[in-house]
């Protein structure tokens, strides 16, 4: 199965699950409040499958899996016979209507907790955030961070693994300072340092948040031993073989892969003399890196070699697994962290601390779904939880076309003692739709530019 087809199928499954959860929230609370639900649809367009239950609700699976809806009996949409008015949405109290609208995002939050509960029950392999190296003159170096220290907190928020530290650091974008709690691996002594992030530059498309601060975590490292040589590449044409070890380039001793990579990238179409170790003997070859143009328009040299990778350092990799009840607490805590991050990133978009060019659309989500599904169930559950939380938070934004917009109108109705006029609501819906379509367009263009 091709990567594109796998990504598409994974995307459809993920979106189908999350939309079903969201709409079921609306559906279940509507039923509990005595509202007649006329249709529960997953997807739009032509119905592929339909059936009715004993209460008259039509359930539909439609052809376009990009959303869904619950259509309730409502006098503002359909004529309603007098004997059925008590079953209409618009005849329910404001609090009942607010509960029905809020139930969709609430269901997504609950599902995130469930997905993460199951993930922690199965066990998720993760890594301890142990600093292996600090880049000279970096933000981390200026703060006095040294290797063999584990990050245990970010701005007083406790963190046990690299993933949670990553999320917490991203949440701090735009701040002038970040306080890290560190524990020395050898002595187990703890201390705090403050990162000066006034000039922090972080581009999530080209680097990790750790790299942007000058931190290299303990993990397998690329070696100067060659694992594979690409067919037809400059390296193959020069006679480089798998299992060769690069000792020198143009009489410069090679210490590590980043140094080697830097030399090759900056030597497009320039002959390089390689000193290799092959079967215990030194071999000298001349290779000329091919010219390659990056998506940003920069030229770079490409040799066509893939490095071998070292084993995991001792004590870094471990499995987070909890019992049935402890996994609930872990799932709630992780969901709260994802929620806090989602809200923070929306605020940073509005303030300009994060550029709209970093918005991701359906293509990026499909790629994420395909990648995590390929890794396994645990990774896919983590992805579903992340997207479910994002879906809930976005739906609670006070844009009239979203659940949050409906809730905003109902809050105004509570304060005014009467509903907001239909004309005002219509203007709001058009304005909200314009904003939403604009953001979706930007996200889609961003996706296309990354292909």
Annotated catalytic residues are 23
State both tokens at 142. Answer: 């200026």
β-strand partners of 359: none
Query: By the 8 A CB rule, do 200 and 213 touch?
Result: yes
Query: By the 8 A CB rule, do 333 and 123 touch?
Result: no
> How many angstroms separate the CA atoms of 112 and 265, rounded?
42
State both tokens at 383. Answer: 């992805």
DSSP state of 297: S
DSSP state of 421: P
β-strand partners of 309: 222
Q: Where are the alpha helices (DSSP H) in 229-357?
A: 234-238, 257-265, 324-351
The percent helix, strand, coil of the chain (3-state, each to 5) is: 45, 25, 30
Total residue count of the chain as it appears in this document: 451
Phi, psi of 445 (to 5 degrees): -65, -40
Query: By the 8 A CB rule, do 76 and 423 touch?
Result: no
Residue 393: count other Cβ atoms within 10 Å of its Cβ.
Answer: 21
Query: By the 8 A CB rule, do 84 and 36 touch?
Result: yes
State both tokens at 242. Answer: 């798998």
DSSP string, 188-224: --EEEEEEE-TT----TTTS-HHHHHTEEESS--EEE
DSSP string, 20-86: HHHHHHHHHHHHHTTPPEEEEEEEEEEEEEEEE-TT-PEEEEEEEEEEEEEEE--TTTS---GGGGG
């Amino acid at each position: 199965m091709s990567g594109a087809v796998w990504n598409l199928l994974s995307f459809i499954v993920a979106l189908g699950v999350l939309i079903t959860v969201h709409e079921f929230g609306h559906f279940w609370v509507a039923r509990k409040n005595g509202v007649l639900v006329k249709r529960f649809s997953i997807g739009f367009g032509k119905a592929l499958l339909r059936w009715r239950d004993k209460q008259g609700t039509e359930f539909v699976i439609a052809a376009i899996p990009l959303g869904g809806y619950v259509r309730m009996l409502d006098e503002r949409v359909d004529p309603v016979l007098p004997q059925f008015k008590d079953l209409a949405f618009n005849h329910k109290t404001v609090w009942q209507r607010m509960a029905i609208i809020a139930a969709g995002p609430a269901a997504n939050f609950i599902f995130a907790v469930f997905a993460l509960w199951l993930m922690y029950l199965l066990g998720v392999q993760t890594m301890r955030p142990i600093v292996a190296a600090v880049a000279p003159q970096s933000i981390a170096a200026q703060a006095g961070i040294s290797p063999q220290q584990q990050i245990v907190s970010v701005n007083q928020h406790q963190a046990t693994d690299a993933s949670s530290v990553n999320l917490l650091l991203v949440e701090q974008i735009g701040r002038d300072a970040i306080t890290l709690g560190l524990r020395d691996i050898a002595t187990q002594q703890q201390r705090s340092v403050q990162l000066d992030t006034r000039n922090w530059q972080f581009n999530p498309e080209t680097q990790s948040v750790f790299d942007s601060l000058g931190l290299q975590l303990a993990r397998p490292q690329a070696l100067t031993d060659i694992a594979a040589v690409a067919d037809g590449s400059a390296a193959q044409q020069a006679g480089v073989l798998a299992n060769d070890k690069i000792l020198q380039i143009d009489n410069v001793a090679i210490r590590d892969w980043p140094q080697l990579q830097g030399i090759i990238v900056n030597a497009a179409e320039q002959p390089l003399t390689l000193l290799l170790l092959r079967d215990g003997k030194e071999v000298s070859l001349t290779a000329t890196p091919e010219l390659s143009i990056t998506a940003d328009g920069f030229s770079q040299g490409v040799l066509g070699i893939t490095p071998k990778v070292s084993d995991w350092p001792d004590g870094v990799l471990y499995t987070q697994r909890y019992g049935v009840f402890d996994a609930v607490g872990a799932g709630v805590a992780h969901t709260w962290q994802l929620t806090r991050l989602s809200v923070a990133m929306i605020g940073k978009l509005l303030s300009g601390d994060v550029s709209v060019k970093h918005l991701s659309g359906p293509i990026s989500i499909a790629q994420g779904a395909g990648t995590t599904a390929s890794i396994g169930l645990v990774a896919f559950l983590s992805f579903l939880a992340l997207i479910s939380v994002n879906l809930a938070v976005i739906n609670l934004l006070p844009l009239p076309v979203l659940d949050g917009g409906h809730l905003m109108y109902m809050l105004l109705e509570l304060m005014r003692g009467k509903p907001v006029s239909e004309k005002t609501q219509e203007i709001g819906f058009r304005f909200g739709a314009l904003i939403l379509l604009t953001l979706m367009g930007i996200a889609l263009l961003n996706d296309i530019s990354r292909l």
